[in-house]
Structure 1
Amino acid sequence: MQIKQAIDRIPGGLMLVPLLLGALCKTFVPEAPAYFKGFTQGIMTGVIPILAVWFFCMGASIKLSATGTVLRKSGTIVLTKLFTAWAIVIVASMFIPVEGVQTGFFTGLSILAIVCAMDMTNGGLYASLMQTYGTKEEAGAFVLTSIESGPLMSMVILGATGVAHFEPQIFIGAVLPFLVGFALGNLDPKLRAFFAPGGMLMIPFFAFALGNTINLANLLSPLAGLGVVLALAVIVLTGIPLILADKYIGRGTGTAGLAASSTAGAAAANPVAIAAVAPQFAPTAQSATVLVAICVIVTSIAVPILTGLWYKRFGQGVAEQARADEPALQLAHAD
């Protein structure tokens, strides 16, 4: 059977197919991890440890000489995403009250839902797509996306910084596996060669575990239509600036920018977390949670497909040319 070949025909298939299988498990047999326990439970629910190993391997695969590229890519993506979300919220706040829209198709839409959907990139999704469609340096650009984790940046954008405190140890804990891998890979080239293949190998395992956090039943919610519209808005309104920033600041093909135009799975927890410390958002927290969850589902499916199509149209030729030029550059440096 040509299973791998069939998966490769699907844009982002190495990520998308296991993710959908995991989502089906979560939707129809949510009790499966607790029932099987053991290793089966671990592989279905082990997003964090799988990610940790994956990030370590990606860190080990990046050479010290590429550090500038990684930081440029990371900074470009993170700052563009945050400033774009900020601008969108400023405009939206001119038309949408704090208590949200109360009538019509947009009933349930709130500033809280918009900011939580817009400002957090799915770092794991981005890194896996770049592992397939980008360079090691582009894949490693997930590092600074840890800054977006949790409700902090959403609260900053909402102007609630007086009750939000960034804890440095959380950020350090997020990037430490990558940094350790990066250090070991550069101290010993043999360790880099040993660990680097793990980055690609871990993609389907991480995708399956991530899928087991997504309940497709959310698509049947009365807010489903609005959620899909919001998800498409996330891709378009953040994707266009990200593509432009990647091309003209990050010196890429736009593929990395499009790959970052998603909503992070953790963002679904932000509305409730923000409402807990900013009571003015409490009335909209429940609907915002549903809307953001739908954004997670839709962008997790749509962004890999769109990124794959973009890569084939605009990025593949550039990547192939770069690989063709690499031996010549190495020879020139040797001379």
Structure 2
Amino acid sequence: MIKKNLERIPGGMMVVPLLLAAVINTFFPNLLRIGGFTQALFVDSVPVLAALYLLTAGAQLNVKSFGVSVAKGATLLGIKWFVAGVFTFLAYFLAGPNGLWLGLAPLAIMAAMSNSNGIVYMAVASQYGNKEDKAAYSVLVLNDGPLLTMVALSIFGAMGFVEGMFSATAFITVLLPLVIGIIIGNTDMELRDMLVKGSDIIIPFLSFALGMGINLTDVVKGGASGILLGVVTVVFTGGAAYLVFKALGWNPIVGAAEGTTAGNAVMVPGVIAAANASFLSVAPLATVQVAASAVTTAILIPIVLALLVKYTKFEDKSIASEDQETVHQINSAVSESQEFAFAGKVAGIDVSKVKTESYDTRPPLRK
């Protein structure tokens, strides 16, 4: 019953544990800080769980699928990163005395806009794309976690916008779990399947541990601005990918599906702060804003895609013909632990068919 109710909330398996922990941390800060296994799991587990998630993400990158799909995956990856970088630069350049732009932390902008919900992408690519579009997902897993955000912030640091720099060791500590996951995933299919399936359990615990570093004042300050960040992510990253794919003669609907923020992006501000102490003060606010963006994009992107299909008269099993059902699914069935099934529903896809037709038949990693 609890799980079913959580799945009715957009991003519930990520948002609810985060907010519950924030409530506990605000009113009973020492309740779980009692040492031993309890504190290790519920308070101090962010580095371990984040590293484990990176390992599961790396396990999904299938090097054998590289081919035409690399161009599409790299294009989407580059578009997301570039657009996120432009808005982050504007945020640093136009930030007020408090370091915020329109109430948004530059760290939150980079983390939210450069990350994407791969499950929604896979569902849409299976509906409207081809094998290359689906195989491109293997490249898109590289925007999981803090790596691309660290690269961008290092550039801004060289420009003088960010205090301190990331050491080579910091990059290695992020890359190593990802690389180990890639090696495991491409060496043994059964191990890859095990890691992919096990990734679902990580997000609720990771979100809770992140919430134990957040005060409710951060939630109040970051909620509305986080919604704005979600809208900007859908319009500008999804819009840019749509236009570029259309210009290149590829399926623009598939490109637009990248206008999302994945639930796993909530870990990025905390990991960045652990690598560079200059971000410690803004990390809690940024985490809340990224979480709000993830929920907002989960609600908006299926509606936007439905409208695009309808007004561009795109052929196939159009989600535009099911606009009302799409809205209903959004309001009642977003699930972190069953995101793939949900994404299939909102895009009008038979999930069992997606699995059998997928270019890479392993179960997709939850993003």
User: By the TM > 0.5 criterion, same fold?
Assistant: yes
2: distance between equivalents of 1:311 and 1:24?
Answer: 29
Amino acid at match of 1:6: N
Residues 21-50 of structure 1 deviation map (CA, whole Å, 9 limit, x = unaligned) = 121121122123332x11111112211101
CA distance in 2, matches of 1:329, 1:110: 42
Q: Is the 8 A contact 2:92 2:99 kept in 1?
A: no
1:309 corresponding residue in structure 2: 299
Deviations 1:46-88 (A, max 9, x none): 1110111122122223322456365444333222211222245
Alignment of 1:215-230 (within 5 A): 215-218=215-218, 224=221, 230=225
* Corresponding residue number in structure 2 for 1:178: 178
Gaps of 5+ in 2: 123-136, 246-251, 306-342, 360-367
2:269 aligned residue: 265
TM-score between the two structures when normalised by the length of structure 1 = 0.69
Pairs within 5 Å for 1:148-163: 148-149=149-150, 152-156=154-158, 159-160=159-160
Contact kept? 1:8, 1:14, Cα under 8 Å: yes
- What is aligned with 1:202? 202
- Aligned residue among 59, 83, 86 for 1:80: 83
Is contact 2:213–2:284 with CA below 8 Å preserved after alignment?
A: no
Is 2:23–2:216's contact at 8 Å kept on the other side of the alignment?
yes
> Structure 2: which amino acid aligns with 1:324?
K
The CA distance in 2 between the partners of 1:260 and 1:269, in whole Å, is 21
> Aligned residue for 1:58?
57
**Corresponding residue for 2:235?**
240
Q: TM-score, normalised by structure 2?
A: 0.63
Shift of 1:149: 3.1
Partner of 2:147: 146
Structure 1 residue 180: Cα displacement: 0.6
2:110 match: secondary structure: coil
1:312-331 paired onto structure 2 within 5 Å: 312-313=302-303, 314=305, 316=344, 318=347, 320=349, 324=353, 327=356
**How much has 1:194 moved relative to structure 2?**
2.2
Contact 1:216–1:297 (8 Å) recurs in 2: no
Once residues 104 and 226 of structure 2 are traced to their aligned partners in structure 1, the CA distance between those partners, rounded to angstroms, is 10
Partner Cα distance (2:262, 2:357) in 1: 32
Counterpart AA for 2:299: L
Q: Which shows bigger deviation, 39-48 or 109-118?
A: 109-118
Change (3 A) 1:172 1:254: farther
Q: CA deviation at 1:121?
A: 0.3
Looking at structure 2, the residues matched to 234 and 183 of structure 1 have their Cα atoms a distance apart, in angstroms, of 35
The residue identity in structure 1 corresponding to 2:110 is M
Counterparts of 1:326 and 1:209 in 2: how far apart (Å)?
33
Residue 296 in 1 paired to residue 296 in 2? no
Task: Output one character per residue of 1:266-321: Cα deviation in whole Å (capped at 9) or x when no partner.
Answer: 477999838xxxxxxxxxxx9xx56x744532442x22322221354336554727
| Partner residue in 2 for 1:49 | 48
- The 2-side partners of 1:79 and 1:211 are apart by 29
Is contact 1:60–1:192 with CA below 8 Å preserved after alignment? yes
Which amino acid in structure 2 is aligned with residue 46 of structure 1? S
**Whole-Å Cα distance in 1 between the matches of residues 23 and 163 of structure 2?**
38
Aligned partners of 2:49 and 2:358: how far apart in 1? 36
Q: Which moved more, 1:147-156 or 1:14-23?
A: 147-156
Aligned equivalents of 1:165 and 1:88: distance in 2? 19
Q: Distance in 2 between matches of 1:161 and 1:117?
A: 12
Which structure carries more helix by proportion? 1
- The offset of 1:173, in angstroms, is 1.4
Counterpart-to-counterpart distance in 1, 2:56 and 2:233 = 29
- Closer, same or farther: CA 74–167 of 1 in aligned 2, 3 Å: farther
| 2:211 aligned partner | 211
Cα distance in 2 for partners of 1:168, 1:319 equals 45
| Cα pair distance change 1:197/1:229, threshold 3 Å | closer
2:111–2:146: 8 Å Cα contact kept in structure 1?
yes
Unaligned runs of 5+ in 1: 101-107, 275-285, 331-335
- The aligned counterpart of 2:168 is 168
Residue 110 of structure 2 is matched in structure 1 by 120
The verdict on how the C-alpha distance between 1:30 and 1:326 changes in structure 2, with shifts beyond 3 A counting, is: closer
Query: Number of paired residues?
Result: 290
